[in-house]
Amino acid sequence: MRAIVSGFSLISAAAFCLCLGGCVLGPDYVRPSIETPAAFRFADGTQVQIADAAWWMQFGDPVLNELIATALAQNRDLKIAAARVDEFRGQFVSARSQLFPQVGAGLDASRQRVSPLAQASLPAGLGTVYNAFNATLPISWEIDVFGRVRRQTEAARANLLASEEGRRATILTLVASVATAYINLRGLDQQLAIAKTTAASRAASVKVFELRFRGGQISQVELAQSQSEYEASLADIPAVEAQIGQQEDALSVLLGNNPGPILRGRALDQLQPPGVPAGLPSALLGRRPDVLQAEQNLISANASIGAARALYFPQVSLTGLLGSSSTHLTRLFSGPANTWSFAGALTQPIFSAGNIAGQVEQAKARQQQALYVYQKSVQTAFQEVSDALLNVETSRERLRAQERQVDALSVYARLARERYEGGYTSYMEVLDAERSLFSAQLAYTQTRSSEYISLVTLYKALGGGWGADAPASVTQDTNIPENEVR
């Protein structure tokens, strides 16, 4: 028995050396060269770089921070993405296992009767009825001479890393979506407050006009105009309230909850917008999850070419069997009951009618597709950052102009009412001034929300904002060195 094991060990050691000395077919991955712009448009280099921090905390609203924390803990899309990572981790472990010997164990027992007329089938020294017991330890190992299994493992590892980047992209999208929904909600709250304040003011005017009409000081036309404007302001309130309810429902689902009310924190004009982060365009290649995911998909497709090419070459495998066989259970593990066998096999495809060539062409085509997807994802990243910076800049300019407009219309509305009370103008001038002021206040609130949302979009486009939630490296999670599958 010792000699058998020693012989099998020698063959295994020789096979292991052969595996180490074997070549790995297919192209090794080299990151494609990407032409990056020299700088982002409208980038402010004096700002502090906080793209990699929990940027949403810069708004200074504890409620927003809590909502994002709840979403990260409960959101269903994020749980799906995490489960997908576990799936690809399992696929990687399965692919990687083929690099090592596969060992099994078997134990079977039977009782049978043979025909006494078939003398050749009767075991020596036994009657027509006897027992049979077998214990086996089968061992198999494919020697990866040409790197097919190593390339498959490399592809599986890249798929695992791509799924992790997909999870990070889901986190980034979720955080941005919660922040955007909350800002929209606070903006709608402020619009509702403006509408209610305007309605209350017009209600007071209607009461005054009714008294004046009864006293004969104004005509019914002026009273009707005042009542019309009051009813118009009341009609605006339900529309805004409906938008608020819909926004609360959408935000609740993002949090992983059933639709319902949302807790409020700071008012829209009390939020503190984070600064515009500085950075180089090339930093996107190592930060944005979608770009990193596209690159890992490219690595996987690149490795699959080698795995397909290896099918042209022989596959070498070793098999062995150690066991015991006896007609008595008590003697199953005695010396005479031992059995063994070992063998080597080499299979070489000769004619496949283009099957292997087709697989290689498919792998090459998928690699080209992955390359173009990667290049497009990089260009899209640059575009999204440029657009976000442009929106930040223009929304701030628009906000400053609308702020001056609101101030001017406030003065206009006050003076128009004073002129009307003094009998210098008609009530139409007052209505025009108040309508313009109401519209300008709503537009200013919407632009303020747009400014904050454009900052959220910018941080999402930059791929930053992990803070304490920075995902652990998949390599660390699985204890897989970078070069183990090379």
How do the pLDDT tens digits run along the chain, 486 residues long?
443 444 445 445 444 544 444 578 888 888 888 877 777 665 554 444 545 568 898 899 999 999 999 999 999 999 999 999 999 999 999 999 988 998 888 888 888 877 766 655 555 656 677 788 888 888 888 888 888 899 999 999 999 999 999 999 999 999 999 999 999 999 999 999 999 999 998 898 889 888 888 888 888 888 898 898 889 889 999 999 999 999 999 999 999 999 999 999 999 999 998 877 766 677 777 788 999 999 999 999 999 999 898 888 888 888 888 888 877 777 777 777 788 888 888 888 888 899 889 999 999 999 999 999 999 999 998 888 889 889 988 999 999 999 999 999 999 999 998 888 888 888 888 888 989 999 999 999 999 999 999 999 988 888 875 443 444 433 334 444 444 443
Sign of the CA dihedral 264, 266, 269, 274? negative
The CA distance from 69 to 134, in Å, is 59
**Cβ-defined contacts of 281-285 (< 8 Å, 24+):** 281/36, 281/37, 281/38, 281/39, 281/40, 281/382, 281/385, 282/36, 284/378, 284/381, 284/382, 284/385, 284/462, 284/463, 285/34, 285/36, 285/378
The CA distance from 31 to 397, in Å, is 40
> Could you say which DSSP state residue 328 is in?
S
SS3 content of the chain, % helix, strand, coil (to 5): 65, 10, 25
DSSP per position, 434-450: HHHHHHHHHHHHHHHHH
Tokens matching residue 133 = 């017991």
Backbone angles phi, psi at 133, to 5 degrees: -125, 135
C-beta separation of 235 from 437 below 8 A: no
The CA distance from 261 to 244, in Å, is 10
The CA distance from 485 to 28, in Å, is 12
CA angle, 460 then 463 then 469, to 5°: 95
Q: Give the bridge partners for 132, in sequence order.
A: 110
pLDDT at 54 (0 to 100): 81
pLDDT at 165 (0 to 100): 93
Give CATH for domain 31-99+145-313+361-478: 1.20.1600.10
Q: Which CATH number fits domain 1-25+101-143+315-347: 2.20.200.10, 1.25.40.80, 2.60.40.2380, 3.30.1300.10?
A: 2.20.200.10
pLDDT at 327 (0 to 100): 74
End-to-end CA distance of the chain: 37
The CA distance from 106 to 135, in Å, is 6
Helix, strand or coil, per DSSP, at residue 314:
coil
pLDDT at 22 (0 to 100): 56
The CA distance from 424 to 427, in Å, is 10
The CA distance from 289 to 377, in Å, is 10
Cβ atoms within 10 A of the Cβ of 154, count? 28
Tokens matching residue 465 = 């904002």
The CA distance from 403 to 57, in Å, is 26
Sign of the CA dihedral 77, 83, 85, 91? negative
Maximum alpha-carbon separation in the chain: 133
DSSP per position, 56-94: GGGG--HHHHHHHHHHHHH-HHHHHHHHHHHHHHHHHHH
The CA distance from 28 to 30, in Å, is 7
Q: Where are the domains of the chain?
A: 1-25+101-143+315-347, 31-99+145-313+361-478
The CA distance from 300 to 433, in Å, is 65
